Amino acid sequence: MIPGKVRNYIKNNFKEGRVACLTGAGISAESGIPTFRGKGGLWERYDPQIYANAPGLISILRTHPEELVNFIVDFYSILLKAHPNLAHRALAVLEKENILSSTITQNIDGLHQQAESQNVIELHGNAFRIRCIQCSQLVVLEKDKLREMIESFKINKNSYIKILKVLSRYFPRCAICGSRYRIDIVLFGEILPADELSRAYKHLNNCDVLLLIGSSLIVYPAAGLPLYAKERGAKIIEINNEPSSLSDLCDYIITGRASEVLPEILGVLGYA
């Protein structure tokens, strides 16, 4: 599947700690998580102008609480069923073998960590965490607790007051500063976490190769990261089922499923 020219490049240039990667929704689609904008994605059923920004979510909670519950249930039902695929696991192996310095991801599903990648930079947050809106203290939302929360929402879906009580139970006040927790996801109109973005730039400054995996590269500022790496001399390898908005920028393109291409890269490097 990997063209001979690209195989040779990989074999000769994937050096210790000099490879970084940027992953998008495509890598998790193979784990059963539809891309938000693609066919079957959540934005086909739920208007992102309402459900992907804070004012819209607050409005729908007040006016149609049952519709907000339906969205939350659909959203988490998909994530809770998903498991890392061979692409996630291959990246974890590359990291363990000190080839891959970091995995920069636009995804919020936590699948890279589940596959045992350690150095994961989450540009858009994580759906399995809550964050204090004032001091940014983080708390992990365990899957069992999430399932319990979903059931509580279902039971109380037609009552605005009861849904508020459920929210206050699972998104409590911070013990450090007293402010309220919220889901640790970057919504439309919000800025990316500065510390994560800074870490991403640091790794791109030091990489010789950047893998672009499963991203359409249309959402900024994440889509600007390959340009940043390219300007600093990195070679760009795109792994995708279809061209992205930055395919013309890439030095090498591998067309195919990430779950097939990345294990093949392990084979080229002798780690299969």
Of the candidates 15, 171, 220, 162, the one whose C-alpha atom is nearest the C-alpha of residue 97 is 15
| Whether the predicted pLDDT of 43 surpasses 90 | no
Name every residue whose Cβ is closer than 8 Å to that of residue 73 and which is 6 or more positions away in sequence. Answer: 150, 153, 154
| b/e 58-67 (16+ beta carbons within 10 angstroms → b) | eebbeeebbe
Query: If you average pLDDT over residues 39-62, what whole number do you get?
Result: 89
**Distance in angstroms (rounded) separating the CA atoms of residues 141 and 47:** 26
pLDDT exceeds 90 at position 120: yes
Positions annotated as catalytic residues are: 124
The pLDDT of residue 187 = 93
User: In the chain, pLDDT over 70 holds for what percent of residues?
Assistant: 99
Q: For the full predicted model, state whether its pTM sits above 0.85.
A: yes
Which pLDDT score is estimated for 8? Answer: 95
The pLDDT assigned to 35 comes to 82
Question: CA 46 to CA 243: how far, in whole Å?
Answer: 26
Q: What is the mean pLDDT of residues 255-264?
A: 96
Distance CA 178, CA 224 (A): 36
The sign of the CA dihedral 200, 204, 209, 213 is positive
- Structural domains of the chain sorted by starting position, each given as residue range(s) with its CATH number in brackets: 1-32+84-124+192-272 (3.40.50.1220), 34-81+127-185 (3.30.1600.10)
Whether 157 shows a pLDDT value over 90: the answer reads yes
What is the end-to-end Cα distance of the chain in Å, rounded? Answer: 16
Strand boundaries in 53-189, DSSP class E:
100-105, 120-122, 125-132, 138-140, 181-185
Check pLDDT > 80 for residue 36.
no
Question: Is residue 38 predicted with pLDDT exceeding 80?
Answer: no
Answer whether residue 39 shows pLDDT above 80: no
Tokens 């079957």 locate to 40
198 phi and psi angles, rounded to 5 deg: -65, -40
